[in-house]
Chain A
């Protein structure tokens, strides 16, 4: 239980309305979107609306030795916002003003609680977009997606969150406020701090303002679905497309199990007699270029024995993407628990990784569907299970270990976009080694020596 006087002080800082301390409220901050994680309610939830309030909260937490868990919409998939060691959940959902849209400099400046889609709605009238679009664009916050360095469907051509962050304001664990970067296209002053804080999962500082880059919205696009009888053909198509010097905006894959499940769930007429399906979209500012790229893709598909279906209208295109978006929900329907990973490999190893996933599922007798951003080498092996079935969960954990080991053996990485959080922390050493872990700790301890910010996530504390 937290001291009454601390509650009072917090109420003074942000106003009583923005402090939640009743048990019912606390229960609703004990989870995020990650399955198979322990639940833990915080001592208190505080919802600041200004940077000064954040600084004062940090100072108080530091005095009292309370942990702080920054939280956006709580949609992350790595246990990143669970208040493991109790303390304060710092929710940014009410700190959500779009401070400025500057169409001449192609930038926008926002508070961390702004939902990604809201930013896109605000810049659309200028013919601009903010490209990073995780599946959760309509709910996830700018702060949360920056802290996770989130990707999305357009990552292959347009990059991920880190490619769009130009400047930030951050409150550090000692209460200091720092600002770096800004609206200039170029900036080499000091270290590249923006890139340090992007993807830092709330462990290094609290992001209180963000300036991002916007781009003109592409005017033309061609969307298509490609069907393959052999997984290898799909994999070769992915590399073939890139080799032909076409960078599609989107290049997604679904395996047989995913296709069948999506078709069962949505009944949109996907063929279920194929081994793999690719969804490709090329886009751009000039119609002829887009058309030429679409033809180049078609040629590669043909060379690899694929069958191509072009979306003839916006409605057909929407259907293709509805199928892709239905992948996770459709799989999730089948069983009570979904364990979703995002191991990522170099693009040329996508086929190997897909085959390995199938083998691992067979070996541990598990239901697994794999889909993902094939063009990025970023796959989502998704295991369908039941957290209440202890015996099966043991097999799940073994399978997950093996998926990670396989990805690393292919020169890949543990996580392409979902982050390490608490879910993947114990594997960290496997990828970056002891020296890597030591560097992680050095950076962490330089900025947050007492592990005040999001403790238990990403950086394994040294064993005492």
Chain B
């Protein structure tokens, strides 16, 4: 049976499988325009087509047959959106704009197929060995194309690659995190045992931690060890699939979801913990929505949806985490990742953790939950808009006089690394969990742990 056949026989007809049901969501929009106050794309372009209200009008025109969904102008317009859900925070009638947008993008793919390049890349995701091999080759070759910047653990493009990549923002000032020579899951043991474990949790690393920020993975492990939680890092886990879902590839995300559900189930853990808002959001919401009607995976998705926590919530609400005593002198601000705050509703917990670290002075920035402009691949396809959005963010960061910017999502870390590099004052970028891990480490080294 083909995969397409599998989909049908399982009867998973959601608004990501047909466009009709999206009308109900569209009807909720009263065109009040409140979304304009917060939409990062609109605030940059100042054109109606940028904001949720305009996109909803276009969706209505598509449903009424006035516009064709595969008209290149319509496609371009629908992809000029970060799916950051900022509009939804300000929407009086609670329009689920993310569902509208993803349903439309899925409809584009159904009618037109995936762009061949996207198809190639997304298929790779489904073959973890190949994907993994590709990332490793990339890690080995990156020195050729990028110059190392040891001061920031980041790399900037080396010409002539900078020239070729200019349209994608790969100019000489661009900083990207370094691809890890060895991905995190390759060297971390699958089970990290602790004495007198309180409970067992699985850690879903996500691609960014695995390939770009293995350090964050290590810090998560450190924090778990210090809190006597046995942690399992399933080797079979794969990309969470959100990146392909936002491109309308419903088929691939469903496949990845099923494989991930199997992998985590096999771990025998009681909880699933994430350190990335997008991955955590997928587990809490998208998987159960996408697999809702699947008799086998639907219930599994629902089960894990209720047991998935961002690590900050896990530490503060599920287990009572041990307050750290190691001193970390730093002035710290915190950026609310869109997926963490707007999907997972996590915003107080990371702040609580940061403020519990001795030596940390916490400074709130203005509009901490304004989108940073990353949007996953949005920053590649719409670099100029993305950069302008980030520039506003960095201005707010600069105002705080903080020397460290923390956040809870590796995608935001990458975006901040690039733009704090351009517009900032040399602030360090870190996952908030790394500061907690650092504090625990310093306890052991008598306050003189490795300063990273």
Hey, which bits of chain A sit against chain B, CB under 8 A?
A: 20, 22-25, 27-35, 47, 73-75, 91, 93-94, 96, 113, 115, 117, 136, 138-139, 326, 328-329, 332-333, 336, 338
Contact = CB atoms under 8 A, between A and B. Distances in A.
A393 to B, nearest CB: 15
B61 A27 contact: yes
* Leading 9 A-B pairs by shortest Cβ distance: A329-B92, A28-B54, A28-B48, A138-B37, A93-B46, A75-B33, A24-B73, A139-B36, A336-B27
Interface centre among A32, A34, A139, by most chain B C-beta atoms within 10 angstroms, is A139
B47 A73 contact: no
A115 B77 CA distance: 25
A73 B53 CA distance: 11
Contacts of A117: 37
B417 to A, nearest CB: 29
B92 A24 contact: no
Contacts of B54: 27-28
B67 interface: yes
Contacts of B28: 333, 336
B2 interface: no
A25 B33 contact: no
Given A23-B71, A136-B33, 10 more contacts: A23-B73, A24-B73, A25-B48, A27-B61, A29-B48, A35-B31, A74-B33, A91-B47, A113-B46, A117-B37
Contacts of A91: 47-48
B92 A328 contact: yes
Nearest to B53: A28
A278 B398 CA distance: 44
Contacts of A22: 73
B58 A24 contact: yes
Count class of interface residues, chain B: 20 to 34
A73 B55 CA distance: 15
A25 B34 contact: no
B435 to A, nearest CB: 30
A114 to B, nearest CB: 12
A24 B67 contact: yes
B74 interface: yes
B445 interface: no
Nearest to B24: A336
B93 interface: yes
A28 B78 CA distance: 13
Contacts of B34: 136, 138-139
Contacts of A28: 47-49, 53-55, 57-58
17 contacts: A20-B49, A22-B73, A24-B74, A25-B47, A25-B49, A35-B31, A73-B36, A74-B33, A75-B32, A91-B47, A93-B47, A117-B37, A139-B33, A139-B36, A332-B92, A333-B93, A336-B28
A23 B47 contact: no
A405 B47 CA distance: 39
B49 A32 contact: no
